[in-house]
Structures are given as structure tokens and as C-alpha cells.
């Protein structure tokens, strides 16, 4: 159930969105140069921060329990406005750079190829010096690859700073955009093949859904370009090598945006082609009906003459009157068909 914060102060932490998990889960990764440790907590109060080189990634799954956000805010001095933004899952992507933490809010998108529908959820990051908080609406596998790298699987995550981990997590979300756009591209190609065979009424519904989905993805991705640019500028110095990673991520986002714009144009063209095809098909139908009507106009005229109830009509008493009239009507119809055929009207 959605809650609204109408009339409340801006700092009020009110959950706005759909409850997607019954219980808030707190997972912790402790990472240093020698090893890593992962465990779950019942309360954020149980989190112990060591004073050595250990860095922490705290994953919060479930945003409906605002008391967790309040405790994080009190303990780590997070501004209430940022906490309120985390609790509001209807926010568009944004970035706030503060003294203690950088706050990033993104959209995680899922696409169903069979149903041609988009679902989204919010992902929020609080990036500190030694600790990284991620906030998810429900449990998802989007960050599993990064977790496996921390565990030493695949290519081990050698840079265990929270900045690099947050970059890796954001990169996973951008990779998901690539994957979704690839699926939408397949749907567009499939739809193009269907339109070549002949558009059906359901085709317009599919095109409308594609257009709506692409616009939604565009709204989710477009602000990310400026977010990554600001992060790149924030870390750009000689001692921090993360700038080149953000630059590479920025280039990926530009490619995603270019793909979105290309697909928008393709869908718009497909809509025009569909409307043109329907109009052309309707014109063909009207043309056939017009030809049929035109052929029957003189035939109807002749038959209506002999349908008049006059007593003195010489042809009515003539032996060959009926066959002659039928022959004339057949000849007129055939002549008109030949004429229309030579004119290439059908």
C-alpha cells in the first residue's frame, strides 16, 4: 500500500511505494586486503565498525520499515531529506554530494519479453569513506556478480574501496539496461516481420506498449548521464584511479541513450507504417467495393426498367427478350471488368 506525505514536513521519513518484502533484511560484507566476511544482522545497531582498513558494504532489503532508516540517520549523521528520498520509491534518479556521504538514487528495470511489459524498483546508494549502504525494495540477483567477485569467484575484486564497489554495482545496473534494450530490439525485429506479413489490430497495442516502455527507460537512464559525469568530476585527481572507470561507465550510458533514441525512432516509424498499411488496406477494400458498385449500376438500371409494371412493353412478349437482356447485362459487366483491368485499377 502506498503512503503519502501530503502536509508533512519535508524531513518526514514516510515510505511511499509498494511493499515488496515482508521483513527488512540487513546483509553485511566486511572487506579488507586479506579477506572478506559476510553475515546478516537483526538490527543496524549490531553493526560494529572496526578502525583498521576494513571497508563495509551494508545491503538493506525492504524499505517499508522506516525505523531502520531513522537508526542509520541517527548513527551516521545522514540528513533527514536524504532518508526521506530513500523511503520514496517514486523518485527519479538523482545525486546529492554531501560532506559525509554521496547519495545516489537509480531505477532498476526488468522487462518481460513475452508480456512486453516493464517493471521497476528503486536502488539507493549511500557512499561514505569506509561504508557503503545500498537500499533495495526486494531481494534481487542484480548484484550477485559483484558479490561473487568479493568472494573470489570470477575475477577477484582487488580494489575493495567502497567507491569501487559502488561503481561496480552501478555498472551492473547499466549492464542490465543493455540486456533489456537487447530484448526490446528483438521484440522490434519480431514485430517488423509480423508487419511485413500484414498488420493486425493487436499490432498497434504492441507498438504502443513498446513506445511506453522505451519512454519509461529513457526517463530512468537520461538523468544517469549527468549523475555519472558529476561522480567522475568528484573523484578526478591524480591519486584516485576511479575517474577512468566512471568515464568508461559514462561512455556506456551514452551508448545506452543512443540505443534508446534509435529504438524510439524505429517504433515511431513502425507506428506510421502500421497506420499507412491500415489506410492502404482500407483503400483496397473501398476500391473493390467501388468497382463492384460501379459494375452493378448499369445492371441495376436495366433490371429496374424491366421491373416496372407497365402493360405495353414489347420485349415482355418477345420470345428472345429475356436471353437478350441477360446477354446485354453480362456483356456490360464483362466489358467494365476488362476496362478496369486495363486501367490497372485492381
6 within some domain: no
Task: Place 237 in a pLDDT band, splitting at 50, 70 and 90.
Answer: low
User: Do residues 80 and 226 both lie within one domain?
Assistant: yes
User: Do residues 171 and 306 both lie within one domain?
Assistant: no
Mean pLDDT of the chain: 85
**pLDDT for 9 beyond 80:** no
pTM of the model: 0.79
User: Do residues 321 and 178 both lie within one domain?
Assistant: no
Domain count, the chain: 2
Higher-confidence residue: 22 or 258? 258
147 within some domain: yes
Residue 255: what pLDDT?
A: 93
CA distance 62 to 134: 11
User: Do residues 218 and 267 both lie within one domain?
Assistant: yes
Residues 6 or more apart in contact with residue 150 via CB below 8 angstroms: 29, 31, 36, 38, 57, 157, 160, 165
CATH number, position 45: 3.30.460.20
pLDDT in tens, 186-212: 888 888 887 777 767 788 888 888 999
66-76 and 80-87 are packed helices; what angle lies between their axes, rounded to 10 degrees? 150
Task: Place 115 in a pLDDT band, splitting at 50, 70 and 90.
Answer: confident
pLDDT in tens, 127-148: 998 999 999 999 888 999 888 8
CA 281 to chain centre: 31
Q: CB neighbours (10 Å) of residue 29?
A: 20
Q: CB neighbours (10 Å) of residue 83?
A: 24
**pLDDT for 239 beyond 60:** no
Q: Across residues 298-327, what is the average pLDDT? A: 78
pLDDT in tens, 50-89: 888 889 999 999 988 889 999 999 999 998 899 999 998 8
Residue with cell 534518479: 93
User: Do residues 178 and 98 both lie within one domain?
Assistant: yes
DSSP 305-327: HTTS--S--HHHH-TTHHHHHHH
Residue 154: what pLDDT?
A: 63
Task: Please write down the long-range contacts of 204-213, taking CB distance under 8 Å and 24 or more positions apart.
Answer: 204/271, 204/274, 206/116, 207/267, 207/270, 207/271, 207/274, 209/116, 209/117, 210/116, 210/184, 210/263, 210/267, 211/264, 211/267, 211/268, 211/271, 212/118, 213/111, 213/116, 213/117, 213/118, 213/184
**pLDDT for 344 beyond 80:** no
Domain boundary (248, 277, 306) is at 277
CA 313 to chain centre: 76
**Secondary structure (3-state) at 178:** helix
User: Do residues 332 and 220 both lie within one domain?
Assistant: no
Domain membership of residue 106 as a residue range: 25-277
Task: Place 40 in a pLDDT band, splitting at 50, 70 and 90.
Answer: very high
CA distance 211 to 193: 18
Residue 122: what pLDDT?
A: 92
**pLDDT for 238 beyond 60:** no
Residue 201: what pLDDT?
A: 75
Higher-confidence residue: 325 or 264? 264
Q: How far apart are the first and last CA of the chain?
A: 60
With beta carbons less than 8 A apart as the criterion, state whether 27 and 59 touch.
yes
User: Do residues 293 and 249 both lie within one domain?
Assistant: no
User: Do residues 302 and 269 both lie within one domain?
Assistant: no
Q: Across residues 24-46, what is the average pLDDT? A: 88
318 within some domain: yes
Q: What angle do CA 214, 105, 116 make, to 5 degrees?
A: 25
Q: Among 223, 201, 204, 224, which Cα is nearest to 212's?
A: 204
User: Do residues 260 and 313 both lie within one domain?
Assistant: no
How are strands ordered across the β-sheet holding 36-41? 36-41, 25-31, 55-61, 131-136, 117-127, 102-112, 94-97
User: Do residues 223 and 323 both lie within one domain?
Assistant: no
216 within some domain: yes
User: Do residues 79 and 174 both lie within one domain?
Assistant: yes
Percent of the chain's residues with pLDDT above 70: 93
Residue 5: what pLDDT?
A: 60
Amino acid at each position: 500500500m502506498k503512503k503519502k506525505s501530503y502536509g508533512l514536513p519535508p524531513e518526514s521519513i514516510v515510505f511511499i511505494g509498494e511493499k515488496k518484502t515482508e521483513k527488512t533484511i540487513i546483509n553485511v560484507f566486511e572487506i579488507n586486503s586479506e579477506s572478506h566476511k559476510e553475515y546478516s544482522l537483526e538490527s543496524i545497531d549490531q553493526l560494529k565498525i572496526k578502525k583498521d582498513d576494513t571497508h563495509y558494504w551494508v545491503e538493506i532489503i525492504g524499505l517499508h520499515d522506516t525505523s531502520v532508516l531513522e537508526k542509520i540517520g541517527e548513527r551516521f549523521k545522514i540528513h533527514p531529506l536524504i532518508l526521506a528520498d530513500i523511503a520514496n520509491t517514486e523518485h527519479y534518479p538523482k545525486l546529492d554530494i554531501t560532506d559525509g556521504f554521496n547519495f545516489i538514487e537509480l531505477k532498476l528495470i526488468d522487462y518481460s519479453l513475452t508480456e512486453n511489459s516493464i517493471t521497476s524498483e528503486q536502488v539507493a546508494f549511500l557512499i561514505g569513506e569506509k561504508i557503503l549502504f545500498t537500499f533495495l525494495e526486494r531481494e534481487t540477483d542484480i548484484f550477485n556478480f559483484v558479490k561473487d567477485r568479493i568472494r573470489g569467484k570470477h575475477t577477484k575484486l582487488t580494489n575493495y574501496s567502497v567507491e569501487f564497489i559502488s561503481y561496480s554495482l552501478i555498472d551492473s545496473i547499466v549492464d542490465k539496461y543493455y540486456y533489456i534494450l537487447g530484448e526490446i530490439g528483438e521484440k522490434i525485429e519480431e514485430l517488423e516481420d509480423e508487419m511485413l506479413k500484414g498488420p493486425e489490430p493487436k499490432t498497434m497495442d504492441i507498438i504502443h506498449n513498446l513506445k511506453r516502455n522505451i519512454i519509461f527507460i529513457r526517463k530512468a537512464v537520461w538523468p544517469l548521464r549527468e549523475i555519472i559525469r558529476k561522480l567522475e568530476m568528484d573523484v578526478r585527481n591524480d591519486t584516485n584511479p576511479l575517474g577512468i572507470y566512471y568515464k568508461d561507465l559514462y561512455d556506456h550510458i551514452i551508448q545506452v541513450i543512443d540505443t534508446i533514441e534509435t529504438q524510439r525512432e524505429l517504433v515511431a516509424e513502425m507506428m506510421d507504417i502500421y497506420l499507412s498499411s491500415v489506410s492502404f488496406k482500407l483503400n483496397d477494400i473501398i476500391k473493390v467495393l467501388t468497382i463492384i458498385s460501379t459494375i452493378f449500376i448499369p445492371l441495376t438500371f436495366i433490371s429496374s426498367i424491366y421491373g416496372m409494371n407497365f402493360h405495353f412493353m414489347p420485349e415482355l412478349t418477345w420470345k428472345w427478350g429475356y436471353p437478350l437482356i441477360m446477354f446485354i447485362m453480362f456483356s456490360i459487366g464483362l466489358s467494365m471488368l476488362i476496362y478496369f483491368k486495363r486501367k490497372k485499377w485492381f
